Structure 1
Amino acid sequence: MNPLHCRSIGMFSLILWSLAFGTTVALSSLSGPTNSPTASKKRVHIVTGASGYVGRAIVHHICENASISLIQSEVHHCQDVLCLVRPNRVATEQAYWNILLQDIASPVSVRVLPYDMLDGGASLKDALASVVVEQDHAETCVYHVASVFGPTEDHQQTALDNVKGTEDLVRTLVDSGMTCRLIMTSSMAAVRGSGQRPRNGKYYTEQDWNTISLLGANWGASYQWSKAESERKAWEICRHHNIPMVALCPSFVFGPPRDSINSNSYSITLVGQWARGESQVQSRLFVDVRDVAAAHVAAAIELEAAGQRYIVSLETRAPSQDIATWLREVCQTTGLSDPEKVHFDGEFDGGAIPIGSKEVDAIDRLRRELRVTLRPIKDTIRDMAGNLLKETAQNDC
């Protein structure tokens, strides 16, 4: 038998063995000697805000899909993840990932480093330096997820900080001289402001930009302004310096969190309040956090995605009455909350585009170019509410 064929069979068997028995196998030990420079590649993922709702989901997606990618691909992509988090979260986050990687037998290496988005790029510079030293020929992807969303004491300063953090990050990438791809977590807030009509008069596309939100009007408007301004700044710098960038514009992100106890996500707070009957259920344009994570990783890998802007969202706004119905079903099934307390806002009609009408054009393009298929909103609500109610019950015990 051909010795190369024997080695391939042996590698495949070893991978299956490691997955079955929970053993982490170093990818370098599986690749074996080769004369092909493309047979084994290192891909480094650097994620800012990696302890947050979306950032953690991205890292989970990388870790949980690495073994499948390894078996299916002819090119072995050894994967390293650098999680950039607030300095006071480093030890906790490193312990979290060490345990998880053992549990799922992922071949991914995860390191946690301190990050401050307002330090002028110093902490990102340190992270990039470690990549240069350790992996000279690595494919590097930087996911800029870190951003503050939700009411704050000074929403105007928070918005300015969001913009400064983005600009400093992109300029640090330029100064590093590294070849890397930037995946920018933007938002539907950068696509349209409250009440803004779409350019085509029908629905929003990636060609639309928020031109009406004003800094300082209220916390929502300040946040919307910050996302539009941050994305504009990033595109401007990246185009001038030939940095490949992909912008992802998710709508309101919902879905089961990986760690709701240590998360201050506004989405988690909101759905928890809805399920417990503490506030009215509101109509929203949704996307599942798991699908947002998948879109980020696909944007880093798909060659044709460079230079593109994607809306990541379901296309119609979910009626508040439907959301309330699904929440009541979860409350009744789990017995963890009183379904009669769930109530909804029936007055809001959707604003610029009526509820039930197509609001964005996104699904076909995501499936075609990023190979990402979005979950139905009903699944997202049920999974998220069930998760939050169970965690609340466990914490109350």
Structure 2
Amino acid sequence: MPTPSPASPPFWRNTLGVALSLLVLAVVTLVVFQPVFKAPLVLDDNITLTHIRQFESWQQAWKADAFHFFRPVKNLFFYWVEQAHGGAALFHWANLAAYFVAACAIFTLTLRLSGRLSTAFVAAAVWLLSPTGGTNAVWVTCFNINAAAASIAFCVACYDIARHDSSRRSLYGVAAGFFFILGLLSYETAIATPALLVLTDVYRQRKVAAKQSLLLYAAMALTVAAWMVCRHFAGAAGVQQSVPSLDPAMPAWQLSASAPFFLWTHFKMWVAPDGRLEMLGSYLWDRSVPAVMLPFLWVLLLGLVYLGIRFWNRAPLFFFGLAWFLIAAAPSGNFLPLRNTPAADYYVPIPAIGLSLAFAAVLQIAIARLRSSAENRPALIGAIATITCLCGWRLIQIPVLTSWLVAWQTPPEVLAMTG
């Protein structure tokens, strides 16, 4: 074994820190998510199993799934696990593993963007233990959403490395392309990936109108176009035809006009999930929320976007996270009237990558001020109060997560909690 060079110790310490961080996340996952293994296969799980049992070979996974979506990764997952005859236990192990890999991807992304191991660990832990992720961890049919979350985060991290390091551009460029395509083949929200990559370029202060940037964006657009062609030939539906959570007679304009309300609903689920978690939330025009309030919600949304742009330079990682939430929530948020379920906790985890980043950024700022405010008593107290409140806020949500996981052991309880 070669003798380490003088420059090696920092590298090894960092590697050890990464390994220990991921090990802690793995142990936490196994401890907190034990109730997952007592949950039955339910609802969409059984419908998908009935569908894939008609497959004569794995190649048929490239057709539309049981709900007329183009999600080959989901079809392949169910097909291969079913062929292995592992039963519900194997399904749950594989799905929980995908959920954990997504947390590792968020750790990787945050480490890349912030350069701080502690910030990366906090972001990954907050995402992993958010109650809005409980359904994705326990409901096997959400495997493809977990796969998409991991793919999107890894794609952004690889893209950022490829654009920064010319010596590794080819390797990480190919990796970014692979994860981009994998995300598209997993879940429709991955269509937001190009916008997230542009956001990353803005965060890094790259010239988005430069020739190299425009060529990359054009390649992404062509990839999305090819994916849409594949969806068409696979027989996937563009708009959901039957959504029990929506009035079939609701005009498209009413659905789009309500988009900020749906966004706000999902944001509240993440911020204060107790009593708000639901998987098939319904919506009725002018009843769920007075229609007169919707213009104010639009003004509020646009105002927040303006403030984010205006104050971006004061806390780039924080506003990057909030922008991620908005961009990643758009595909499922009915800004285009695609008749997606109005309120569903399983929509939140991919946008919540951004909220976890924003949380970690605020905590990072508070800790930095704590270290630099030893002689400034008011600032010191403020920093301590901020850190205490942030940590307490997330810790008190762990029982909400575990109770939701336990509820999934008796699916009617989950349905009873759904509005």
Structure with greater proportional strand content:
1
Scaled by the length of structure 1, the TM-score of the pair is 0.31
Scaled by the length of structure 2, the TM-score of the pair is 0.30
Between 1 and 2, higher relative CO (CA 8 Å, sep ≥ 6) is seen in 2
